[in-house]
Structure 1
Amino acid sequence: MSPLLGCVADDHTGGSDVAAALRRAGMRTVLRFGVPDTDVEIPDCDAVVVALKTRALPVGEAVAQSVRARDWLAARGVERLYVKYCSTFDSTDEGNIGPVVDALAGDGPTLVCPASPEHGRTTYLGHLFVDGVLLAESPMRHHPLTPMTDSNLVRVLGRQTPHPVGLLPLGVVRAGAIREHLDTLAAQGIRHVVVDAAEDADLLAVARATADLPVVSGGAGLAGAIARAATTPGAAAPAALPSGPSVILAGSCSTATLGQLDHALARFPGHRLDPVATPDPADLAGAALAWLDEHFGDEPVVLYSSAAPDRRAAGRAAMGDHTPEVLERTLGLLAERAVELGARRVVVAGGETSGAVTAALGVDQVVVGEEADTGVPWCLTTDDEPIALLLKSGNFGRPDLLVRAAGSP
């Protein structure tokens, strides 16, 4: 039996976020990293998520990878597709959300719904709010790769696609006139429809009214609603986490992650990758690997490049424009070394960091397990002696998440 739903996510933590939402709704969910080879088959499951690293790629490459993932899912009988991007709509005026949705949705129409009320992301009159604050006034305004300076998603998406963008207002959602409104917009040639939602009930109403759309897009909120609206989800059994040493690797510079690091560094020994102090990439990696070899043991250890905006700017000035790539590659090397030393739990903060870590470890498929926090599930490799990965989006999780995930109460 083919999976009920296939999902293409634009980064690894986004993939784990949506996989957690699907699993929580009762779907047995498999998460894959990167475009699968053509001969890779899907295990028995209700949903399969393909997590790419396309959020910050050049548009053409992001579209090509997304199409290949879509085609792989279609070849395995998946008839309904979900295009997953961040609930803060992380993108530039060039894309990649608009171009990818254009390519995967065909002639449309399709929904554009980043709202995820459980994570504090809501939309009203097309404007995205983060914990009650307009997107352009939130910390996302200062994101180093995709600074979000416009809260109006109709306007933001309109700069990324040549196709008309419309709005499904909250009043229409709650009046139960979703389908009629979408039909009217389609008759007007509207290709993409930004969806208002302020509560989980709004998302469930949208999911039920649009069950016939073959392609929809959004954050984990709508995906979870689609899973809840499905009539034949399977049982998602819990999976035990392996015991053993833990390592925390953080590259996210979000406010949430910086606070979580403060908690972790108050409990565990840590080493910061500092381009100002060590601008040579080889020396930076060598010093970090030596520190890990010396400090790795039963107690969790923390290795991080996360920094406040002024320190990030100083690091780039010292090392150059390739600084982010160097830092991510180094964190991947550290993850590989930690596993060689015996780490059984690898806790990662940041989408780009998660991609670097899974690539360095050669992990291409995991079974999605219980959530450590909402939208942050444990992922278990399918080896005989599995490793547990926690891939945390930068903005997600309570302040003590890293401490709890590393195995310390």
Structure 2
Amino acid sequence: MGSGAGATASGALAHARPRVAFYGDDFTGSTDTLAAAVTGGWRAALFMDVPSAEDLRRHGALDCIGVAGSARSLSPAAMDRVLPRIFSGLAATGAAVLHYKTCSTFDSAPHVGSIGHAAMLARAALRRTADAPPAPAYIVGGQPNLGRYCAYANLYARAGQDGGIHRIDRHPTMRHHPVTPMDEADLRVHLGRQGLRPWSFDAEMLELPEAEQDVRLDAMLREGADAVLFDVTRPAHLAAIGRLLWARCPGDGPLLALGPTGVVQALLAGTGAGSPASMAAGGADKAQAASGPTAASGGRVSPAAVAQTFIVAGSRSPVTAAQIDRSVQDGFVSVEADPAALARHGEGHDESVVADLVARIVDALRTGRSVVAHTTFADAGAALRPGYTQALAVGSGRLMRDVLARHPLRRVGFAGGDTSSLAVQSWGIAALTLAYVLAPGVAVCRIDAPGQDLDGVELMLKGGQMGPPALFSDLLAGSA
């Protein structure tokens, strides 16, 4: 078995088909889902595209197969070109559940990152015949370990690591998101604008006896609900949701689930040995599923300090800004990067500017210090220009590669969901596997890139809102 998939514990069952196949609409969220799967006991790997037979052979039997994407930054037309092939490929793995992994704050809009449009494409990919009704979509509305809660269909989110909890349309950061500002807290309304009109399975229903929960959900489906949104106000709700989902996995194809890593957390919580949910993996795997999650390490390592690290920060979140400030206090060198030059990097423009930037970073690293390069304090209005965010992210990926080519490092990082997604995609690597969890929502992954100098490098990927102020210093110290 490949080191990324993890060693199977003694007595654990090997599954020919995965329990879950997911597509993450950005990289940082995808690695959070990978971390949840592995720490929950599943063998998992996160691929850059639908894995080939050789990819799967190299990683061995997997309970959870992920594809890290960038749909959060795509228009509906771009989704049309990208997602159908991926959904069909993931469904072909035989997974019991197909999970479209969204950001935990559900930030999206009809014109960019549309969750509703992605759901439509997933439903089309899962249809067995042209006249078959579309599969219902099950939406998990919260993720308590990240401070994300859904109450009576309204989304709430914590501000930063230890901040207060705000309704999403009053959140100090998300209501001002530069691309997809969240101006509506009711997810029924928010997703309705994107063509997805879920019925609410609220917290009171989740407190009912299991038999009554089943009655309520089945009644919704009979009455025409083609999407159901589950509240999540406390961790115990995840187990109830997981039980309901496993029990409704069809035998001839995957169940469609939408939402953050809370989906996988619910599925893990709902697979207790001997429970009805544990028998719902479908077909011949039902008996195997009864054993619950497998005890696999996922190739994890014990965190250890490294001599130095390099981080590229593209997020404009105040959380990331505070992390940059703290890293400077702790001895990092702060280098401000010209975002316009990075956005044109590799196109023959401003190459001398980027070359000078690379030289300054490498010179600082050669003194033995760690470096954080940031576009964080750039003009936020630039993000609204068509194609700018994507170009900046790819340019940031080239910057990281240029630096590592001149000064190899064991551990590096990206801060910013869009930055992480497009930067890493531009590298042409095969997959990521979990090394360790640095903080809630922040995974450190090991790069799987056979034959490349990046193979084995540890990579932190974090969204703008994630992590404590000392996160970058913790990455250097190997804290977890």
For residues 205-230 of structure 1, give each alpha carbon's deviation from its aligned partner in whole angstroms, at most 9, with x where no partner exists: 11112212312111112311212323
For residues 103-142 of structure 1, give each alpha carbon's deviation from its aligned partner in whole angstroms, at most 9, with x where no partner exists: 2135122211230111111011111001221101111011
What's the CA shift for 1:64? 4.0
Identify if the C-alpha distance between structure 1 residues 34 and 287 changes in structure 2 by more than 3 Å, giving closer, same or farther: farther
What's the CA shift for 1:288? 1.6
Partner of 1:219: 260
CA distance in 2, matches of 1:219, 1:356: 19
Paired residues of 1:305 and 1:327 also in contact (CA < 8 A): no
For residues 3-58 of structure 1, give each alpha carbon's deviation from its aligned partner in whole angstroms, at most 9, with x where no partner exists: 22111111111110111111121112101124446864362221111111111211
Identify if the C-alpha distance between structure 1 residues 288 and 325 changes in structure 2 by more than 3 Å, giving closer, same or farther: farther
Is 1:102 the counterpart of 2:107? The answer is: no
Code of the residue aligned with 2:239 in structure 1: it is L
Partner of 1:197: 232
Code of the residue aligned with 1:178 in structure 2: it is Q
Partner of 2:157: 130
Code of the residue aligned with 1:81 in structure 2: it is L
Code of the residue aligned with 1:191 in structure 2: it is D
Identify if the C-alpha distance between structure 1 residues 66 and 394 changes in structure 2 by more than 3 Å, giving closer, same or farther: same
Which of residues 51, 70, 81 in structure 2 aligns to 1:53?
A: 70
CA distance in 1, matches of 2:142, 2:31: 17
Is 1:82 the counterpart of 2:99? The answer is: yes
Paired residues of 1:12 and 1:33 also in contact (CA < 8 A): no
For residues 129-167 of structure 1, give each alpha carbon's deviation from its aligned partner in whole angstroms, at most 9, with x where no partner exists: 012211011110111111111111000111111x54211
Partner of 1:152: 186
Look up the SS of the partner of 1:210 in the other structure: helix
Which of residues 420, 432, 437 in structure 2 aligns to 1:354?
A: 420
Partner of 1:288: 357
CA distance in 2, matches of 1:274, 1:152: 38
Partner of 1:345: 411
Look up the SS of the partner of 1:86 in the other structure: coil
Paired residues of 1:12 and 1:351 also in contact (CA < 8 A): yes
Partner of 1:166: 199
Structure 1 residues without counterparts, runs of 5 or longer = none
Code of the residue aligned with 1:204 in structure 2: it is A
TM-score (norm 1): 0.91
Partner of 2:380: 312
Is 1:363 the counterpart of 2:426? The answer is: no
Is 1:25 the counterpart of 2:40? The answer is: yes
Paired residues of 1:336 and 1:360 also in contact (CA < 8 A): no
Is 1:332 the counterpart of 2:379? The answer is: no
Identify if the C-alpha distance between structure 1 residues 63 and 397 changes in structure 2 by more than 3 Å, giving closer, same or farther: farther
CA distance in 1, matches of 2:387, 2:99: 33
Partner of 2:83: 66
Look up the SS of the partner of 2:71 in the other structure: coil
Code of the residue aligned with 1:103 in structure 2: it is L
CA distance in 2, matches of 1:182, 1:264: 49
Identify if the C-alpha distance between structure 1 residues 276 and 337 changes in structure 2 by more than 3 Å, giving closer, same or farther: closer
What's the CA shift for 1:244? 5.2
Code of the residue aligned with 2:296 in structure 1: it is A
CA distance in 2, matches of 1:220, 1:278: 31
Is 1:111 the counterpart of 2:138? The answer is: yes
Paired residues of 1:35 and 1:65 also in contact (CA < 8 A): no
Identify if the C-alpha distance between structure 1 residues 365 and 277 changes in structure 2 by more than 3 Å, giving closer, same or farther: closer
Which of residues 4, 7, 12 in structure 1 aligns to 2:27?
A: 12
Partner of 1:229: 270
Deviates more, 1:279-288 or 1:203-212: 279-288
What's the CA shift for 1:240? 4.8
Code of the residue aligned with 1:192 in structure 2: it is A
Code of the residue aligned with 1:403 in structure 2: it is S
CA distance in 2, matches of 1:364, 1:383: 5
Partner of 2:301: 239
Structure 2 residues without counterparts, runs of 5 or longer = 1-15, 127-133, 159-164, 250-254, 272-290, 344-348
CA distance in 1, matches of 2:426, 2:194: 32
Look up the SS of the partner of 2:216 in the other structure: helix
For residues 364-398 of structure 1, give each alpha carbon's deviation from its aligned partner in whole angstroms, at most 9, with x where no partner exists: 30211220001212111235751001111111111
Paired residues of 2:301 and 2:435 also in contact (CA < 8 A): yes
Look up the SS of the partner of 1:371 in the other structure: strand
Paired residues of 2:99 and 2:263 also in contact (CA < 8 A): no
Is 1:395 the counterpart of 2:446? The answer is: no
- After superposition, the CA RMSD in angstroms is 2.5
Paired residues of 1:97 and 1:160 also in contact (CA < 8 A): yes
Code of the residue aligned with 1:252 in structure 2: it is S
Paired residues of 1:244 and 1:345 also in contact (CA < 8 A): no
Computing the radius of gyration over CA atoms, which structure comes out larger, 1 or 2? 2
What's the CA shift for 1:357? 2.9
CA distance in 1, matches of 2:157, 2:80: 27
For residues 276-332 of structure 1, give each alpha carbon's deviation from its aligned partner in whole angstroms, at most 9, with x where no partner exists: 899974354233212123212332111111127xx423x679xx6554344323311
What's the CA shift for 1:359? 2.8
For residues 195-251 of structure 1, give each alpha carbon's deviation from its aligned partner in whole angstroms, at most 9, with x where no partner exists: 111111011111112212312111112311212323432223232568454111111
CA distance in 2, matches of 1:200, 1:316: 36
Paired residues of 2:188 and 2:197 also in contact (CA < 8 A): no
Paired residues of 1:110 and 1:216 also in contact (CA < 8 A): yes
Look up the SS of the partner of 2:214 in the other structure: helix
Identify if the C-alpha distance between structure 1 residues 64 and 180 changes in structure 2 by more than 3 Å, giving closer, same or farther: farther
For residues 85-104 of structure 1, give each alpha carbon's deviation from its aligned partner in whole angstroms, at most 9, with x where no partner exists: 01100101345201111221
Partner of 2:281: none
Partner of 1:265: 328
Identify if the C-alpha distance between structure 1 residues 58 and 37 changes in structure 2 by more than 3 Å, giving closer, same or farther: farther
